Amino acid sequence: MTPYRGFPSYPRCAAVLTPSYLGSAAFECQHKIKSRLKKNSCCVFEGIPKAGRSTPLNEIYTELYITERGSGEVNKEHEVRQIEKASRKPAMEETPIKCGDIFKPLPGKYKPIRTIMTTGVAGIGKTILTQKFTLDWAEDKANQDIHFTFLLTFRELNLLKGEEFSLVELLHHFYIETKDAGIDRYDPFQVVFILDGLDECRLPLDFQNNPIWTDVTKSTTMDVLLTNLIRGKLLPAARIWITTRPAAANQVPAECVDQVTEVRGFTDSQKEEYFRKRFREESLANTIISHVKKSRSLHIMCHIPVFCWITATVLEDIVKTSKRGEEMPKTVTQMYSHFLRVQSIQGDRKYHGRSETDPPWSSESREIIASLGKLAFNQLEKGNLIFYEEDLADCGIDIKAASVYSGVFTQIFKEEFGMYQARVFCFVHLSIQEFLAALYVFLSFINDSVNLLSEEPPTSGEDKLFLLYQRAVDKALQSENGHLDLFLRFLLGLSLGTNQIVLRGLLGQTGTSSLTNTKTVFYIKEKIKGDLSSERHINLFHCLNELNDRSLVKEIEQYLTSGSLSGESLSPAQWSALAFILLTSEEELDVFDLKKYSASEEGVLRLLPVVKASKTSLLSGCLVTQEGCASLASALSSNPSHLRELDLSYNHPGDSGTALLSAGLEDPRCRLDTLRYKEDSECFNMLLSLCFPPSVEHGGVWRLKPALKKCKCLFDSSQNTLTIKMESPSTQQEVTSVIHMWTCVYVCVAMFPFLILSGSPSDACDLTLDPNTAHRRLSLSEDNRKVTRVRGDQSYPDHPDRFYYWDQVLCREALTGRCYWEVEREERNGAVYIGVTYRGITRRGEGRDSGLGLNNKSWSLECRDDRYSAVYKGGETALPLPPAGSTRVGVYLDRPAGSLSFYRVSPGGGGSSDTLTHIHTFCSSFTQEDLLPGFVFSGVGSSVSLCQL
């Protein structure tokens, strides 16, 4: 008999392509493509291939932290904000995914993955990730079940806009080897398409209105070709990997993507690993690592691999050129100013014949930087990260000049060539574009007295430079998604003399006065006092840091050191400073106890960003009312939501506050596992808010609202404590507790499947096995209440209800309304499956139509010695709760409510002393014909006995 475990049977590992497999031409084609990909992917270039210095990828590659993303929701925040939030998120919360395993289902998931989307901010390493995947395949190190890997970038696909291709012709265009081999169909092969850089796509990907296209040999527009390839209409057996920045992820409908992953960049340990790989000299590596750790802003930015590279370039230059009197960069503006100077000096020496004794900033360099700055600013306002010839023309840059710029500043501005030398330009990273844009705005004011941020002329006597900074602050605060946050930090940072010294010769006489900076600092502090979002407050503190003003932060640090911090004495600005200190601390925000700072609702409201960033927030006795609950609900539904445990004991939010909190719990982004809530009346109100009230129709039973069926409640009458535990949406892992409910409320097991019951449910039913359904390898005994899998066939007569393929049997009694039963199981050499099925399930078929749990007519729980798994439609989901020595399973079917729940029954002598712990619940309408209990066996000697309740 075919083993039951393992359905559905996934595509077998594809045959390794050999000359005898579909002909030598295809084998030769694969060999040539691998050779080309090895050549193109084996090195990382600092700059561009024609002018840069290459490093072997396998030498420098540091495994990036890739995790499953809980939802495909778009995050349109500025990517620096996302980086700062990610840097506060403990890495151990999620399971990392290795690059070579990107198409493998995650633990507990068995559905094959066709289309995967990987998101990540600019510079986080998405392209390097695809390069590593491609290189490992080309070098025969991984994924050898794949016959062809086709890497296509949207930068190159954009250039084909308006042209028509078939899929075969498109591959002939980019991979001439396929044309030489005469390959005109790909269904015999295992193929992976990597579509890199969706955020750079300028094609109209209209998934809703584009026509369906299924013929790989028929030509159409590029956007129709891509939408059908991604949707699975064109070459459905192919696997698709799309990479994108988060803001563009919604260009592909969620239903077209099987799994969304996120590149979170470097963890703290990986940052150190990168620098040690980059610098073989241990003392140099130690110096750089130590300096980065001392500067919190630099340490946060090093979450991005590209920033690690920039940092390494600058600090290596400072250390190796023995510029001992030169201050090591501590802010991002200082770092980028040094980086620009290093690149200018290297370009001048290489292309303009200047010597080491010549001053930096040749006239050629100044001209290039001015042009690139204008391009950066204009395209930043438009939201463009890549530029084509027409974009350059808009800024007055001709294509020849752009090529020169990319040659001189190879590590700042890149010219890329497609398969046919089509040109695409970009800055190495978004942050470099933002720095040059800020520098251009600053230079335009210093050299030409032009305020590019304001159309209104200043009145006489006004401080014009202060007006520039004032307008920049206002524009950044008005930005919906904070897309000018980093630009503002750079612009303000350029006002400092320390940065102007680094850029001396480029800036000329700036005329920046300390009075202007003082006025700017005062203006920012006034804004901090206002009613701004937490993210805007935090960015304003970063701006003060760029201006070398830490007065507010030092005030709070002194309070914290002396232990005299009192929430009643803090101004709004000081509250914001406290939040900034806690959020930028080197210590992980694992547990945040508000009472250390202020046991008040104002503390909850003012330090809400800290609550959002923490894993556990202790707010017991903090006088939280309706207003506080509204803010906490926003924290529970934030993207991403870090909060796992929330203690609201001894607070009095009232019914309206409880309702607001419940709305936050219902949000799909909520990842809370535990909510502690004390005071008996409030506990009861919370319970009511999570439930529909009892009705005559439902026999006075409290019923959980559908959106919260996966939560868990714990009530301890001696402590007056209700603990609500919820299933994590991202991992589907549950925390199970022993719960003893109070006797005055009877809770329906179907709607509260997680609650432990006292005594046997009133819906217990008496069942017997039906001999007319039993497979001949099943032996019935004990008045048809026990079934055992045996070796030899039993002498059962032919019957139309008998199963002839799967070793399974059904019960006689149909299940109506609400029914509960228990079985005692014994597994030997295999598994036992417990479930229910519609009476009309196929009896003689050899496929899934007749197997319990392998179709849409039946549901089953797989039981083994060490684990449970849920089986439906052939899909198998591993469940976190272990059997823990229990061999008894309880089953509760509530047809009106549409739920089928399974429980582990822990032995206690039977009756009220037994403990039921929820294993899994299936939800379905169950509106068709009669439902019958059933059992399946995969090992000789395994048995099931129906228990007497």
List, for residues 419-432, the tens digit of each pLDDT value. Answer: 444 567 778 778 88
Average pLDDT score over residue span 315-344: 81
Domain ranges for the chain: 24-41+63-263, 363-512, 609-747, 771-946
Q: Which residues of 95-125 are buried (b: 16+ CB within 10 A; e: fewer)?
A: eebebeebbeeeeebbeebbbbbbbbbbbbb
pLDDT tens column, 558-613: 777 776 666 557 788 888 888 888 887 766 667 888 888 888 888 888 888 888 88
* 371 pLDDT above the threshold of 70: yes
- Tell me if 412 sits within 8 A of 427, measured CB to CB: yes
Average pLDDT score over residue span 625-649: 82
Helix (H) and strand (E) counts for the chain?
A: 29, 34
Average pLDDT score over residue span 818-847: 88
Question: So what's the pLDDT on residue 34?
Answer: 92
pLDDT tens column, 412-422: 666 555 444 45
Cα–Cα dist 640/378, whole Å:
31
Confidence tier at 747 by pLDDT (50, 70, 90): very low
Q: Pick the closest to residue 222 from 178, 163, 274 (CA basis).
A: 163
The label of the residue with tokens 């290297």 reads 346
Both structure tokens of 842: 């196929």
E strands, 397-454, are 413-417, 423-427
Question: So what's the pLDDT on residue 277?
Answer: 85
Contacts of 137 (CB under 8 A, 6+ apart): 34, 37, 143, 144, 146, 149
Share of the chain above pLDDT 70, in %: 73
Confidence tier at 720 by pLDDT (50, 70, 90): very low
Confidence tier at 82 by pLDDT (50, 70, 90): low
Average pLDDT score over residue span 921-929: 78
More confident site: 259 or 455: 259
* 85 pLDDT above the threshold of 60: no
Cα–Cα dist 870/753, whole Å:
15
More confident site: 71 or 633: 633
More confident site: 491 or 478: 491
Q: Which of 203-207, 293-297, 312-316 has the lowest average pLDDT? A: 293-297
Cα–Cα dist 152/147, whole Å:
16
CATH fold of 771-946: Jelly Rolls (2.60.120)
* 846 pLDDT above the threshold of 80: no
* 500 pLDDT above the threshold of 70: yes
More confident site: 855 or 395: 855
Residue 820 CA to its chain's centroid (Å): 40
Quote the mean pLDDT of the chain. Answer: 77
Q: Pick the closest to residue 917 from 866, 882, 865, 867 (CA basis).
A: 882
Average pLDDT score over residue span 907-916: 57
Cα–Cα dist 661/127, whole Å:
41
Count, residues in the chain: 949
Contacts of 465 (CB under 8 A, 6+ apart): 445, 495, 511, 512, 513, 516
In which region does residue 742 sit, left (phi positive, over 0), alpha (psi from -120 to 50) or beta (all else)?
A: beta
Q: Which of 46-60, 433-447, 763-777 has the lowest average pLDDT? A: 46-60
Q: Helix 24-41 and helix 126-138: axis angle, to 10°?
A: 140
* 635 pLDDT above the threshold of 50: yes
Average pLDDT score over residue span 154-166: 89
pLDDT tens column, 107-154: 656 567 899 998 887 777 788 888 889 999 999 888 888 899 999 999
Strand 943-946 to 786-789 pairing? antiparallel
Question: So what's the pLDDT on residue 326?
Answer: 66
* 298 pLDDT above the threshold of 50: yes
* 520 pLDDT above the threshold of 90: yes
CATH fold of 24-41+63-263: Rossmann fold (3.40.50)
Question: So what's the pLDDT on residue 280?
Answer: 82
* 494 pLDDT above the threshold of 80: yes
More confident site: 725 or 618: 618
Q: Give the Å distances, CA to CA, from 299 to 291, 439, 640.
A: 9, 23, 21
Cis peptide before 693 (omega within 30 of 0): no
Cis peptide before 8 (omega within 30 of 0): yes
Strand 591-593 to 616-618 pairing? parallel
pLDDT tens column, 307-319: 888 888 888 888 8
- Tell me if 893 sits within 8 A of 900, measured CB to CB: yes
